[in-house]
Amino acid sequence: MKSTEQPRFTISPFLVFVFIQAMQFGSEYLSMSTKPIQWAGQDTWISVLLCGGCFHIAIWMIYRILNHNGMDLPGIHHQFFGRWAGGVLNFIFIVYFLLIASYELRFFIEIIQVWLFPELTTWPLALVMLLLVYYIVAGGFRVIVGICLFSLIRYITIFALLFPAVFFHYGNLSPVFDHSLNVLVQAGKSLTFPFGGVEALFFCYTFIEAPQKSEKWAYWANALTTVSYLLIILFTLLLFKPEQLPKEIWPQLTKYKFIQFPFIERFEYIGAASQILWVIPILCFCLWAPSRICKLMFGMKQLTALPFLFVLIFTAVCLIPGHESIEAVQKMLSEIGFYLIFAYLPFLFIVSVIRMKVRRVA
C-alpha cells in the first residue's frame, strides 16, 4: 500500500519511530512516578511493563484499522458513521488535541516559573512559544518530524539520572510481587497518560511512504518508551521512599539537584529549560492535527485554520491559573486518554472487522 499524499509531503517508514517516540515521551515524565508508586509501591515497575504491553496491543489495533481502510481517522469516521456523526467525532478530536496542547504548554510554563523565573507572567512566554510552533507547523508535516528528530538529543539528559546512584537504597525494591493484580492495574491506569501519543498514527498514516512497513518502527518506539519509563520508575524507587513522593511535585527535576560540576552550580536550571525539547514536538502535532481535520471537514486550507487554533490555545493557556488547575486538566486528559485507548479504539477495531467481513460476504 502506498501513501495517499504526494511524495514530497511524505516521510520514510523508519521516521515513525522518531515521531511516536516524541509524541509519547512528553514532559509529564517529570511527575509520572508519584501516583503509580503510591498505588503499587516497589512493584510499580510491573505496572510499567503491563501498560507498555497494552500499548503494544493498541498499536496493533490501530494498524489493523488503518491498513484495512487505507485512510486516516477523519476519513474512517466519515465512512463508518456518516457525515454528521463522523463530523461530531472529528470535532471531539479537535477539542482533545487543543486541550493537550494547552496543558503541555501551561505545564512547561509552570516549570519555568517555579525553577527559573518566579515573577514571569504566563502570557508572554505562551505567545513566544506559540509563535515558534506556528512557524514550524506552517512548514508542513515533514518539518514537524524533523523537529521530533532534533528533540532526540534530550536523551543526553538521561545520563544525569546516574549521578544520584551513590544515594540509592536498593532495599526499596523489596519485597517483590507484594501487591495484588487489581492494585497493579490501578497503577498502570495512572500511567496511561504518559504512554499516550500513539493515537497520532491515526492522523499521520497517509503521510508515510509504504505505511504498512512502518508498523515495526511504531512497536520499537513504544518499547523504547517502556524501557525509559521503567528506568525512571526504578531510579525513583531507589532514591525516594514512597512516603516522600507526595512532597515532591516533580521528582525527576529534583534528581538534577544531586549533579554538581565546577563550571555549573545549578544543573537543575538546565534540566528545567531542557523540557522545551519534550514539549515542542507535541505542541506542533497538536496544532497540526486539528488544522488537518479542519481541512478535511470544511475544505479550508490548514494555514487558514492555524490562526484560529493559535488564538484558542493561547486563550486556554492564559485561563489556567496555577498548579491545581493544571493538575485538574491533566486528570481530565488522563481519563479521556484512558477511554480513548481502552474503550473507543477496541470499539473502532470491532466495527472495522465487522465491516470487512460483511464486505467479503457481499
- For residue 91, give the C-alpha cell: 470535532
Three-state DSSP string of 11-40: ECCCHHHHHHHHHHCCHHHHCCCHHHHHHH
The answer on pLDDT for 353 being more than 80 is yes
On whether the CB atoms of residues 43 and 208 are closer than 8 A, the answer is: no
Query: What is the rounded average pLDDT of the residues 74-90?
Result: 90
Query: What is the rounded average pLDDT of the residues 270-289?
Result: 89
Q: What angle do CA 322, 151, 251 make, to 5 degrees?
A: 45
- Give the class (CATH, top level) of 7-361: mainly alpha
Other Cβ atoms closer than 10 A to 156: 10
Rounded to the nearest 10 degrees, how much is the dihedral formed by the CA atoms of 288, 291, 296, 298? 180
Question: What residue ranges do the domains of the chain occupy?
Answer: 7-361
Beta bridge partners of 208: 11
Q: What is the mean pLDDT of the chain?
A: 87
The answer on pLDDT for 3 being more than 60 is no
Alpha helical stretches, state H, 116-208: 122-138, 141-150, 181-190, 192-195, 201-204
In sequence order, which residues have a C-beta less than 8 Å from that of residue 27 and are 6 or more positions away?
104, 107, 108, 111, 275, 278, 279
The answer on pLDDT for 157 being more than 80 is no
Amino acid at 166: V
In this predicted model, what pLDDT tens digit does every residue of 220-263 receive, in sequence order? 999 999 998 898 888 888 888 777 777 777 877 777 777 777 76
Q: What is the pTM of this model?
A: 0.92
Query: Higher model confidence: residue 162 or residue 43?
Result: 43
Rounded distance between C-alpha atoms, residue 252 and residue 257, angstroms: 10
The answer on pLDDT for 141 being more than 60 is yes
Lowest mean pLDDT among 46-60, 168-182, 219-233: 168-182
Lowest mean pLDDT among 42-56, 74-88, 124-138, 168-182: 168-182
